[in-house]
Structure formats: C-alpha cells, structure tokens
A and B are shown apart, each in its own frame.
Chain A
Amino acid sequence: MVYLTRIEHFNAAHKLYNPSWSKEKNNEVFGKCANENWHGHNFELYVTIKGDPDPETGFIFDAKKLGALINEKITEKLDHRNLNLDVDFMKGKLCSIENLVIGIWDELEPHIPPPIQLHCLKLVETAKIFVEYYGNK
C-alpha cells in the first residue's frame, strides 16, 4: 500500500458567523473572524489517496489526473469565491475549516475510482492553522 498526496490551492473569502445568534454573541465566540464584510485566506488542500502501484504504470493513480480531478470537483467551485455565499455544498453550514474539509471529502470521495481510496484531506488555512480529516470512520 502506498500513499500519494497531491497539493492544490485556492483563495477565498469567508466569515465565521452563526445566524441564530446575536451579533454580540458571534463577536464573543468568533472574534475578528465574524467581521460581517468577510475576510479571506490562501487555502492549501492536501489530498492523500492510497492503493497499490499498477504493475503496468507503476502508479497508484496518475498524479496529474488526480490534480485535474481535484480542480474540476473542488477548486473550480472554491477558488476566488465567497465560501458562505457561492459554494453549493457549504449552503446552510458554518464556514469553519472543520466543516469545509468534511464538505470537500463528501464532494471528492465518490469520484476516487476503486480500488484506490481517499485516505486523508489536510486543509491549511494559515501558516499556523490546519485540519485533517480521514472520513467518517
């Protein structure tokens, strides 16, 4: 079994805001991240798949094709977008990176062709903050 990671990136705006709370409560919990006019990040997405190398190609999956798949299914929808307003799979959800990484997993996982499996998503929001998700296991 070999693990292969492809890194892609996107730049997006968001805010952390719970619409069922008052503005004061949102500011108390989310601080500057609740700014009503948004802020933004350069996000880095690490997609790790696992499988055995194909005897004819030596690949577990063509890394370039994996990049194209991530771009088509994920970064096209997120790059230069407002995560709260523009992204179909984040509608009605709090736009934390925790929820975003789960949303990305649910979008991408059905498109990874068996026997290759999606192993891990790592989503980096800033140089100091990132999350990892290994699926709902």
Chain B
Amino acid sequence: MGKKVAIFRKEHFNAAHRLFNPGWDDKTNTKVFGKCALPNYHGHNYELIVKVIGEPNAKTGYVMDMKELSDLIKQEIVERFDHRNLNLDTAEFKDLNPTAENIAIVIYDLLRPHIDKEKEIQIRLYETPRNFVEYPV
C-alpha cells in the first residue's frame, strides 16, 4: 500500500447568474431564492479548488503535474465560465439551476474524464468568501 498525497490547484472565474426555477411562479421563486432570483442577474468571483489524490509517481515524484492540472482547469472550466452568464451563455445550465452545488457537480463531471482514473478528485467551489461547497463527499 503506497502513500497517498492530495494536491490542490486553485483557479478562479467571474460570472453572472440568477437562481430561478422556471416551473414556479415569480412569487415562489422570490420566496425560495430571495434576492438571488432577481431578474437582471447578479454575479460572483468564484474561486475553484481542485483536489487530486494519489500516490506520487516513482519517476517524477508528482501525483499529477500541477501545470497540466492548471491548463486542464483553464481549458475545461475557466474558458467556459469566465465572464459569462451561467444561465444564458452555457449549455450546462440551460436546464439546470446554477447553484454552487450544481456548478461543483458540473465541474467535476467536466474534469473527471481528463484525469487518470487511479486518482480521486474533489471539487471545492467558493461562491463568496463565506459560502463554499464540496463535491463529491
């Protein structure tokens, strides 16, 4: 049994969104989502931390090359979401409410196929300095 290590890479993107269930009327949306349901959107500086767990490679000493991880996150996530409106500009949230929970799940699903299956990954997403989510748990 080898020694597992977790590595972390932090990236960020700035985006607009609103929380809204199209199956509900405005009154119910406002009751459930409050100011987050306002029609003209609001936005956040999202901070994304991707955790990769595995045994360091015997030849490189790396769990994963941090530069490759950084490039992957930029290509798959930041390019897709940075300076976008999550509700209007992204295919992923056309029919999915862009809560921090759902954004974390979407990010996991986008990154997972590109990272060695032997490695576990976990997503931590900060929507504000005070609100953050983790997936999977």
List, sorted by A's number, 15 A–B pairs whose CB atoms are closer than 8 Å.
Answer: A12-B43, A13-B16, A13-B43, A37-B16, A37-B89, A38-B41, A39-B84, A39-B85, A40-B14, A40-B43, A80-B35, A80-B38, A81-B42, A82-B41, A86-B38
Select B128's contact among A33, A38, A42, beta carbons within 8 Å.
A42
Q: How many residues of B contact A (CB 8 A)?
A: 22
Which residues on B are within 8 Å of A, measured CB to CB?
12, 14-17, 35-36, 38, 40-45, 82-85, 88-89, 128-129
Q: How many residues of A contact B (CB 8 A)?
A: 22
Residues of A within 8 A of B35 (CB): 79-80
Residues of B within 8 A of A82 (CB): 38, 40-42
Residue of A13, A35, A126 contacting most chain B CB atoms (<10 Å)? A13
Select B83's contact among A9, A33, A42, A79, beta carbons within 8 Å.
A33
- The reply to whether the CB of A131 lies closer than 8 angstroms to some CB of chain B is no
**Least distance between B55 CB and chain A CB atoms (Å):** 33
Residue interface mask A19-35, B partner, CB < 8 A = 1:
00000000000001101
Tell whether, in the assembled complex, residue A40 and residue B17 are in contact, meaning their CB atoms are under 8 Å apart. Answer: yes
Considering the chains assembled together, what is the distance between the CA atoms of A79 and B44 in angstroms?
A: 11
Closest to B81 in A: A39
